[in-house]
């Protein structure tokens, strides 16, 4: 259940009142501790005891070592099965906190309060939790819905522009795979800032929720949400080992360009639609340098993608603006062509 809250968290307070939790553990990173926790604590009204669990910010923290530390802290603080974890943060916090809560003592309750655009529109609301393993993204995790998701769009006001733009990539994806009108609203926006984006968040959340409702365990239609994420995730994974990590949405933007090109090359969309999509993505996202990675580096990761079976590489591709197909097999040759196409954009 999702509540978009512009009511100073009265819905959260009602939720805390209604349930009988033993104790609350609020998971934050250093930034959400500084910017979001004061807002939450200033509005949260409960007699329950709470503890703050803080981790460093960043994707590098989304690993088994951090999960282990959190399980140990919960144990030391005697969190029992009636404890509640509140994940206050972006996708790293909601993925990590959801994973830790859904596995600790075989599962304790948690709620998500997303504080980035990406987590509001995507990471916090689909019931997927997880951590990275080696340099593979989200390799270990669970499908577990939070008890509730409270979305407070005002948190976006302190979010750095690059992070806002990262989340915006998922909104563009929602338009591209399912709702042409949403896509058109987004590409017509004069300025990319929180105030312009906030009115469109609900549409993106509705698209994602609708897909998840139809196919929670990603057996079919949920795979359409992976548009842009097959090549995008591979590049994001390769960047995990670099000094300057890429943001999720920046990698997804690159993935959407190459996968829009693949959609065209596979005869699924017209050249006009392909140009329109790529041109609009380029309008928002600078070229992502992939010169350190060979096609083979990318193939190795594609073959390990959770969506694939055996040696085939399956994609979710566009069949129009606002329409998407899934489980479409692409050859190495056509994937290479899409990467060559992308590299040439840097010369243009």
Ligand X SMILES: NC(=O)c1ccc[n+]([C@@H]2O[C@H](COP(=O)([O-])OP(=O)(O)OC[C@H]3O[C@@H](n4cnc5c(N)ncnc54)[C@H](O)[C@@H]3O)[C@@H](O)[C@H]2O)c1
Just list the catalytic residues.
106, 128, 170, 208, 218, 222, 226, 229, 233, 248
SS3 content of the chain, % helix, strand, coil (to 5): 55, 15, 30
Coil, strand, or helix at residue 195? helix
Among 5, 102, 166, 224, binds ligand X (CB under 6 A): 166
- Cβ burial of 50 (10 Å; 0-12, 13-18, 19+) is middle
CA dihedral 271, 276, 280, 283 (to 10 degrees): 80
Nearest approach, Cβ of 34 to ligand X (angstroms)? 8
Of residues 14-43, which lie at the interface with ligand X (CB under 6 A)?
Answer: 29, 31-32, 35-36
Among 12, 95, 172, 265, binds ligand X (CB under 6 A): 95
Distances (CA, A) of 276 to 86, 187, 261: 41, 10, 11
CA distance 260 to 172: 12
Nearest approach, Cβ of 145 to ligand X (angstroms)? 11
Q: Which two tokens stand for residue 107?
A: 């599962």
| CA 25 and chain centroid, separation | 23
Q: Which is nearer to ligand X, 219 or 344 (CB)?
A: 219
Q: Which is nearer to ligand X, 90 or 175 (CB)?
A: 90
The answer to the question of residue 102 lying near ligand X (CB under 6 A) is no
Range in contact with ligand X (rule: CB under 6 A) among 103-111, 159-167, 259-267, 319-327: 159-167
β-partners of residue 28 are 54
Of residues 120-149, which lie at the interface with ligand X (CB under 6 A)?
Answer: 122-123, 126, 128, 137-138
Q: Which is nearer to ligand X, 86 or 269 (CB)?
A: 86
- Residue, CB closest to ligand X: 91
Quick one: angle between helices 229-239 and 332-345, nearest 10?
Answer: 70
Among 86, 159, 172, 317, binds ligand X (CB under 6 A): 159
Nearest approach, Cβ of 113 to ligand X (angstroms)? 10
CA distance 58 to 76: 25
Nearest approach, Cβ of 49 to ligand X (angstroms)? 25
Residue 55 contacts residue 90 (beta carbons within 8 Å): no
Nearest approach, Cβ of 250 to ligand X (angstroms)? 10
Among 66, 102, 119, 224, binds ligand X (CB under 6 A): 119
Among 26, 44, 55, 57, binds ligand X (CB under 6 A): 57
Among 21, 99, 110, 155, binds ligand X (CB under 6 A): 155
């Amino acid at each position: 259940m999702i509540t978009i809250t512009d009511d100073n968290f009265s819905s959260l307070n009602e939720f805390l009142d209604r349930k009988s939790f033993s104790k609350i553990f609020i998971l934050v990173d250093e930034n959400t501790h500084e910017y979001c926790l004061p807002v939450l604590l200033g509005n949260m009204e409960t007699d329950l005891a709470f503890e703050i669990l803080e981790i460093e910010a960043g994707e590098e923290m989304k690993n088994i070592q951090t999960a282990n530390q959190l399980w140990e802290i919960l144990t030391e603080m005697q969190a029992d099965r009636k404890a509640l974890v509140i994940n206050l943060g972006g996708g790293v916090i909601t993925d990590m906190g959801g994973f830790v809560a859904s596995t600790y003592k075989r599962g304790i309750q948690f709620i998500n309060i997303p504080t980035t655009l990406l987590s509001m529109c995507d990471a916090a609301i689909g019931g997927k939790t997880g951590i990275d393993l080696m340099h593979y993204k989200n390799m270990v995790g669970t499908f577990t819905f939070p008890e509730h998701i409270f979305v407070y769009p005002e948190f976006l006001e302190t979010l750095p522009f690059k992070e806002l733009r990262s989340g915006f990539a998922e909104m563009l994806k929602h338009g591209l795979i399912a709702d042409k009108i949403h896509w058109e609203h987004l590409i017509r926006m004069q300025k990319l800032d929180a105030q312009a984006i906030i009115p469109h968040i609900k549409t993106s959340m509705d698209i994602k929720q609708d897909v998840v409702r139809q196919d929670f365990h990603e057996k079919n239609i949920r795979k359409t949400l992976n548009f842009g994420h097959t090549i995008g995730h591979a590049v994001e994974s390769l960047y995990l080992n670099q000094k300057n990590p890429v943001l999720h949405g920046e990698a997804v933007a690159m993935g959407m360009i190459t996968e829009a090109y693949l959609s065209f090359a596979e005869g699924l969309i017209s050249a006009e639609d392909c140009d329109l999509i790529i041109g609009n993505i380029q309008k928002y996202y600078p070229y992502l340098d992939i010169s350190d990675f060979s096609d083979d580096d990318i193939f190795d990761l594609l073959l390990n993608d959770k969506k694939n079976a055996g040696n085939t590489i399956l994609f979710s591709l566009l069949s129009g603006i606002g329409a998407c197909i899934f489980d479409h097999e692409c050859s190495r040759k056509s994937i290479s062509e899409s990467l060559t196409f992308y590299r040439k954009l840097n010369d243009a």
